[in-house]
């Protein structure tokens, strides 16, 4: 028996060491595209964002005019000892242009990390605003949020921030042709004005909770984009609310001390704009802008085209698109009831 214990001790030691020494690394180090199932498609670039765990595949085609499914064959280098069980022979299959694939990297120690792969082309994903999901608000109730999920959507709203009051200013509006977007300025028990918005980017809950007096801190604008449209086109209508007001914080550092509300001259306006940017390190350079500010329009959806005005020949890296029901909503200025309805955003190229 003594001899048996002598033999088992080093074995048990090695077992313990092998478990402790297993790596928890689950990174994608390199992501290369080797081929596509459609030879007519041109890959412009592929970028890896290690911080966000995102991969962006830029394709020089309008993918809404391409037949799917589409197979992309890849060569992926991952952390030593890790594996990608969901990817066989490097093939990743997309079933439509708006699909975002998530692949799971499993580390040597069994822990895992989701990575998300986006197809980026000369139109923005979900620009017909058809895809929405059920999200849980801070009040514990579900509401509709744009996109397939928080991680997979390039669009965002302020709904999560106002959900604590049971208010969701940006919602799908269904008609016989599909989904439109209804963006409405409202008020809550504590907020005399809660402007609604739809934008490319992410709602920043941490920024909203740490800076509740400044709605601008709740938004992270922009999504990766490398194309140069000449205009953006969409259908919209707008009805301004009856009473145009300016709400002023009684204490600029404390939202819970309430507001002083003053009625002001004029009429509320919606704000619609797109900005092409080049982002390099911590610098952001504006390349082009298209914008529209409008008060009450006719009561039918009207197709509108807004040209981009270019001020630089640089190549863009990001695009920010914003639809807001009150132009001054981020400064607590607007009209309760102001309603912007939008349908089918398209980027135009000439």
Domains and CATH numbers, the chain: 28-120 (2.60.40.2340), 132-348 (2.60.120.890)
Q: How far apart are CA 59 and CA 67, in angstroms?
A: 14
* Amino acid 136: pLDDT: 95
The predicted pLDDT at position 190 comes to 85
- Nearest CA to 41 out of 53, 33, 29 is that of 33
CA atoms of 257 and 249, how far apart (whole Å): 8
Plot region of 55 (φ>0 → left; ψ -120 to 50 → alpha; else → beta): beta
d(CA 331, CA 214): 8
Q: Which two tokens stand for residue 213?
A: 């007096």
Residue written as tokens 């306006």? 269
Confidence at residue 20, expressed as pLDDT on a 0 to 100 scale: 62
Residues 185-229: pLDDT tens digits? Answer: 999 888 899 999 999 999 887 776 777 777 777 789 999 999 999
Q: What is the pLDDT of residue 36?
A: 96
The pTM assigned to this predicted structure is: 0.90
DSSP for 145-169 reads EESS-TTT-SEEESHHHHGGGT---
pLDDT reported for residue 2: 41
For tokens 């799917």, the residue is 68
Which residues in the chain show pLDDT less than 70? 1-20, 208
Structural contact between residues 269 and 245, judged by C-beta atoms closer than 8 angstroms: no
Is the distance from CB of 305 to CB of 341 less than 8 angstroms? Answer: no
Identify the pLDDT of residue 6.
39
User: With 0-12 CB in 10 A as exposed, 13-18 as middle and 19+ as buried, what is 298?
Assistant: exposed
pLDDT at 13: 37
| pLDDT tens digits, 4-49 | 443 444 443 334 444 468 899 999 999 999 999 999 999 999 999 9
Rounded CA-CA distance 318/207 in Å is: 21
Pairing mode of beta strands 339-348, 231-239: antiparallel
What is the β-pairing status of strands 112-120 and 54-59? parallel
Residue 175: predicted pLDDT = 81
Q: Which two tokens stand for residue 286?
A: 């504006």
């Amino acid at each position: 028996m003594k001899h048996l214990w002598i033999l088992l001790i080093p074995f048990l030691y090695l077992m313990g060491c092998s478990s402790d020494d297993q790596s928890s690394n689950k990174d994608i180090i390199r992501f290369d595209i080797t081929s596509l199932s459609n030879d007519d498609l041109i890959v412009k670039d592929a970028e890896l964002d290690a911080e966000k765990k995102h991969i962006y595949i830029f394709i020089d085609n309008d993918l809404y005019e391409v037949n799917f499914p589409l197979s992309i064959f890849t060569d992926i280098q991952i952390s030593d000892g890790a594996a990608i069980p969901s990817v066989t022979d490097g093939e990743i299959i997309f079933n439509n242009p708006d699909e975002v694939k998530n692949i799971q990297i499993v580390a040597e120690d069994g822990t895992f990390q989701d990575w998300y792969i986006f197809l980026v082309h000369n139109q923005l994903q979900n620009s017909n605003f058809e895809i929405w999901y059920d999200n849980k608000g801070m009040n514990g109730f579900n509401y509709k949020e744009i996109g397939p999920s928080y991680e997979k959507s390039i669009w965002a709203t302020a709904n999560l921030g106002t959900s604590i009051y049971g208010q969701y200013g940006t919602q799908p509006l269904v008609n016989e042709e599909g989904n439109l977007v209804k963006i409405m300025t409202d008020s809550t028990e504590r907020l005399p004005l809660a402007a609604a918005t739809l934008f490319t980017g992410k709602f920043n809950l941490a920024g909203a909770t740490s800076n509740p007096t400044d709605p601008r801190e709740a938004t992270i604008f922009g999504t990766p984009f490398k194309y140069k449209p000449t205009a953006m086109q969409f259908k919209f209508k707008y009805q301004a609310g009856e009473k145009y007001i300016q709400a002023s914080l009684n204490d600029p550092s404390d939202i819970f001390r309430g507001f002083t509300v003053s009625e002001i001259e004029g009429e509320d306006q919606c704000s619609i704009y797109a900005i092409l940017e080049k982002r390099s390190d911590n610098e952001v350079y504006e390349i082009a802008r298209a914008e529209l500010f409008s008060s009450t329009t006719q009561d039918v959806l009207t197709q509108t085209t807004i040209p981009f005005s270019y001020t630089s020949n640089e190549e863009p890296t990001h695009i920010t698109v914003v639809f807001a029901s009150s132009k001054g909503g981020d400064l607590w200025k607007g009209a309760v009831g102001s309603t912007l309805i939008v349908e089918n955003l398209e980027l135009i190229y000439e």
